[in-house]
Amino acid sequence: MPNHFHIVVKPDKGEELSKWMQWLMTSHVRRYHRHYGSSGHVWQGRYKSFMIEEDSHLLMAMRYVEGNPVRAELVPSAKEWKWSSHRETLGKGKRMLTDAVPIELPGEWDRYVDEPFTEQELDRLRMSVNRQTPYGDEEWQIKICKEFGLESTMNRKGRPKKEWRHE
């Protein structure tokens, strides 16, 4: 993507993620500015993170990440986006960016990634991105939210609407 990127990572410890992201972004921006003789912002906004259940939800998040250039109409197939790990996920070429996926991929992963999402699938995933809500089935979400004090991420933004009584 021209002004942002998506990445699915699993840190050994959750608290290591922000340190790693700070290192990644700082070193990239410094290198970028040195190379182009520029200054200022390179990327759009701060990073967002959320936990993902290691089941079909992880597959959906990976599909979202690898299929993003197709949704943005930058390429007709994810296989054609040279900045993606998609070819590595397919097992084509040497793994340089990615580890093996911790769960089994569906057959014909390349077709699955290129398939359009339903509005419901996109809404649910984007809610996790925007609110940093754990992404998984409802029972798992509730458990994780309680365990890590993330219950507020499940609520709508802003104040609850007032109920008007007509007397």
Q: What is the pLDDT of residues 83-122, one digit of tens each?
A: 888 988 888 877 887 888 899 999 899 999 999 999 999 9
Q: What pLDDT is stored for residue 115 in this prediction?
A: 93
pLDDT band at 23 (very low <50, low <70, confident <90, very high): very high
Q: Where are the domains of the chain?
A: 12-46, 48-149
pTM of the model: 0.85
Q: What pLDDT is stored for residue 136 in this prediction?
A: 96
**SS3 sequence, the chain?**
CCCCCCCCCCCCCCCHHHHHHHHHHHHHHHHHHHHHCCCCCCCCCCCCCCCECCCHHHHHHHHHHHHHHHHCCCCCCHHHCCCCCHHHHCCCCCCCCCCCCCCCCCCCHHHHHHCCCCHHHHHHHHHHHHHCCCECCHHHHHHHHHHHCCHHHHCCCCCCCCCCCCC
